[in-house]
């Protein structure tokens, strides 16, 4: 496999998926296997840079696995040593990227931001540790809330038509495989010996699930060949392990899971992208994404907000003349938080390649529109618009909540891209904070006693901390003893327990 013109790196993919499991505890990885084949590093300069074992992140392993599936095969022999293996994984960091000539110039600052965007979306999702939340969130969104609104778009029917499985069956089958991938190769699908488990994992459903998320080398390579490529940005290219987290090897024909985390994301967050792609058409409104934002995501945010202690009232979107308020108005005594929900933050192209124009356009479509909705609501409250008269005189603050992962959006470099658009609308002095739904889920049980408005006010008042991600801010307050954790998010915890209660009973 050629990575650059002056150095060659060879290793079989089957070697990769046989990673030595003894490294799991040391590296904190969920490795799938043991390495037992060969790696050849012809560039001696690279070998000399390895003075000790380097940390290996899952984002590196995912990229490394992708390149091996594309360019290698399983018919080599030999044995790899630890030093070479670590170097191979960390070679990921050496792919060339443009560097700003002067970070103090506007162009240099843009390039700093662009590099931060690429790094954050390439690396940060692999470092999130609370993936347990992804499963109950997916069930609440795509099963529980979707069942309440079937006239506009029937999620269950659409998903069954695409996959032959219900959302719950899709998640359970994926979780069952994820639970065993640490043992190495994945056993063939089989009818459960315990009759009680047949209800949850019948053979036909197992086979159908595996067919959806498994690729052999030819299928994987075809998937990658269709992805947009840009020289110098190989590690930011879409990784088809997100679509096919299970791989059928060439030599043994067994199934392996190169990066188990991607299997979890495939059966949870992947449901959204599965349906989004299925109903996408150039220049045509996407029925699913339109339905998702208004009928699933907004109610989900409201469901989370309802759990806050001390809430006087939670008001959904209201008509104000020919326009509407923001999605939620949260009232805590004399304090009001205006909340606008958006499904997406940045498109994949903007995340991966971070071209300034693409990033700015995405921010205009989502963040600027969200701030507009909040400010429109504030003005309507100040004027005492019908239905909002009783709110006049209360203080307001603004929060934008995204379904998508979002990083660094409160930082000045991002705000510099947003400010011109806000200034044109006279909104450049409007304070607001942005958070992902996973951050809101973490936030709510921690701040029940102090309230959302008070927490946001303190954050915005601190010039430095106002620029932090919500999760980073919470972690700092906890480490300083200002806040204490109060257990898990109860909504997510209850849904998780409900899902697996039946399985646990069947196995007793």
- Neighbouring residues of 57: CB distance < 8 A, sequence distance ≥ 6: 123, 126, 127
Confidence of residue 129 (pLDDT cuts 50, 70, 90): low
pLDDT > 70 fraction of the chain, expressed in percent and rounded? 79
The H-or-E segment that residue 336 falls in is: strand 335-342
First to last CA, the chain: 49
Please, what is the average pLDDT of the chain? Answer: 81
- Higher per-residue confidence, 183 vs 406: 406
State how far the Cα of 434 lies from the Cα of 340, in Å rounded to an integer: 10
> Which of the two residues, 73 and 204, has the higher pLDDT score?
204
Mean of pLDDT values over 245-272: 89
> CB atoms < 10 A from the CB of 322, how many?
5
**DSSP letter string, 372-423:** HHHHHHHHHHHHT-TT-GGGTT-EEEEEEEESS---STTSHHHHHHHHHHHH
Long-range contacts of 92-99 (CB under 8 A, 24+ apart): 92/59, 92/60, 92/63, 92/64, 92/235, 93/60, 95/3, 95/232, 95/234, 95/235, 96/232, 97/232, 97/233, 98/232
Strand 328-332 with 323-324, pairing? unpaired
pLDDT for position 31: 32
Token pair 């390579």 in the structure block, residue: 221
- What pLDDT sits at residue 209? 96
* Mean pLDDT, range 434-459, rounded to an integer: 91
User: Between 15 and 310, where is the model more confident?
Assistant: 310
Contact indicator for 453, 332 with CB cutoff of 8 Å = yes
The DSSP call for residue 462 is S
The pLDDT of residue 259: 87
Q: Given this model, what pLDDT does residue 414 score?
A: 81
Angle between helices 155-163 and 269-278 (to 10 degrees): 80
Distance, in Å, from the CA atom of 136 to the CA atom of 168, rounded to the nearest integer, reads: 10
Q: Does residue 132 have a pLDDT over 70?
A: yes
Q: Is the pLDDT of residue 490 over 80?
A: yes
**Mean local confidence (pLDDT), 353-357:** 84
How confident is the model over 34-58, as pLDDT tens digits?
Answer: 222 223 334 444 444 433 344 667 8
Segment 342-370 mean pLDDT: 86
pLDDT value at residue 83? 62
Neighbours of 108 (CB within 10 A): 14
Domains of the chain: 2-94 (no CATH), 133-278 (no CATH), 287-494 (3.40.91)
Least confident span in 224-233, 388-397, 491-500: 224-233
Q: What's the CA gap between 29 and 61, in Å, rounded? A: 10
- The answer to which of 140-144, 383-387, 431-435, 447-451 has the lowest mean pLDDT is 447-451
Please check the confidence at residue 229 and state whether its pLDDT lies above 60: yes
Q: How confident is the model at residue 101 (pLDDT cuts 50, 70, 90)?
A: low
Q: Look at 3 and 478; give whichever has higher pLDDT.
A: 478
Instruction: Look at 38-42, 158-162, 167-171, 223-227 and tell me which has the smallest mean pLDDT.
Output: 38-42
Q: Which residue did the predictor score with more confidence, 19 or 466?
A: 466
pLDDT digits (tens, 9 = 90+) for 301-331: 999 999 886 677 899 999 998 899 999 999 9
pLDDT for residue 91 is more than 80: no
Q: For residue 139, count CB atoms less than 10 angstroms from its CB and return exposed for 0-12, middle for 13-18, buried for 19 or more.
A: buried
E-strand ranges in 179-321 read 214-215, 246-248, 255-256, 313-316, 319-320
Please tell me the distance from the alpha carbon of residue 506 to that of residue 360, in angstroms, as a whole number.
Answer: 52
Backbone dihedral region of 481: left (phi > 0), alpha (psi from -120 to 50 degrees) or beta?
Answer: left
Residue 82: the pLDDT is: 60
Instruction: Name the 3-class secondary structure at 53.
Output: coil
Pairing of strands 323-324, 246-248: unpaired
Average pLDDT (16-25) is 40
Confidence of residue 138 (pLDDT cuts 50, 70, 90): very high
Q: Is a pLDDT exceeding 90 seen at residue 195?
A: no
Does residue 2 register a pLDDT over 50?
no
Give the confidence band of 78 by pLDDT, cuts at 50, 70, 90.
low
């Amino acid at each position: 496999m050629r990575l650059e013109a002056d150095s060659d790196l060879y290793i079989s993919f089957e070697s990769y998926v046989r990673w030595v499991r003894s490294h799991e505890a040391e590296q904190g990885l969920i490795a799938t296997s043991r390495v037992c084949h060969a790696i050849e590093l012809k560039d001696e300069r690279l070998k000399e840079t390895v003075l000790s074992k380097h940390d290996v992140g899952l984002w590196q392993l995912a990229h490394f696995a992708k390149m091996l599936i594309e360019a290698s095969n399983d018919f080599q022999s030999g044995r790899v040593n630890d030093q070479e293996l670590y170097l191979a994984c960390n070679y990921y960091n050496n792919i060339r990227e443009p560097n700003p000539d002067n970070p103090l110039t506007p162009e240099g600052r843009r390039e700093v931001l662009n590099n931060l965007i690429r790094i954050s979306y390439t690396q940060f999702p692999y470092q999130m540790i609370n993936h347990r939340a992804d499963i109950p969130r997916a069930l609440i969104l795509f099963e529980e809330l979707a069942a309440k609104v079937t006239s506009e778009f029937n999620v269950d029917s659409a998903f069954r038509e695409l996959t032959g499985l219900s959302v719950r069956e899709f998640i359970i089958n994926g979780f069952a495989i994820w639970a065993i991938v640490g043992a190495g190769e994945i056993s063939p699908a089989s009818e459960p010996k315990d009759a009680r488990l047949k209800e949850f994992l019948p053979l036909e459903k197992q086979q159908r699930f595996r067919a959806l998320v498994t690729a052999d080398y030819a299928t994987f390579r075809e998937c990658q060949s269709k992805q947009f490529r840009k020289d110098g940005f190989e590690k930011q290219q879409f990784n088809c392990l997100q679509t096919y987290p299970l791989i059928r090897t060439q030599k043994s024909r067994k199934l392996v899971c190169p990066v188990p985390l991607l299997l979890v994301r495939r059966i949870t967050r992947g449901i959204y992208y599965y349906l989004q792609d299925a109903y996408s058409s150039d220049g045509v409104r996407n029925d699913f994404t339109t339905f998702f934002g208004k009928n699933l995501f907004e109610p989900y945010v409201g469901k989370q907000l309802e759990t806050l202690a001390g809430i006087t009232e939670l008001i959904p979107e209201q008509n104000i003349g020919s326009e509407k308020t923001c999605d939620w108005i949260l009232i805590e005594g004399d304090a009001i938080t205006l909340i606008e929900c958006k499904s997406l933050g940045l498109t994949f192209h903007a995340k991966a390649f971070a071209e300034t124009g693409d990033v700015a356009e995405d921010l205009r479509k989502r963040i600027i529109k969200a701030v507009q909705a909040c400010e429109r609501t504030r003005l309507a409250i100040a004027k005492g618009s019908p239905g909002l008269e009783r709110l006049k005189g209360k203080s307001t603050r603004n929060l934008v909540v995204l379904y998508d992962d979002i990083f660094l959006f409160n930082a000045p470099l991002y705000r510099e891209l947003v400010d011109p658009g806000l200034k044109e609308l006279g909104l450049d002095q409007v304070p607001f904070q942005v958070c992902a739904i996973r951050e809101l889920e973490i936030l709510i049980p921690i701040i029940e006693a102090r309230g959302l408005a008070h927490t946001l006010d303190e954050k915005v008042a601190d010039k430095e901390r106002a620029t932090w991600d919500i999760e980073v801010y919470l972690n700092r307050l906890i480490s300083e003893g200002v806040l204490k954790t109060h257990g898990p998010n109860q909504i997510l915890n209850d849904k998780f327990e409900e899902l697996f209660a039946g399985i646990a009973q069947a196995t007793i």
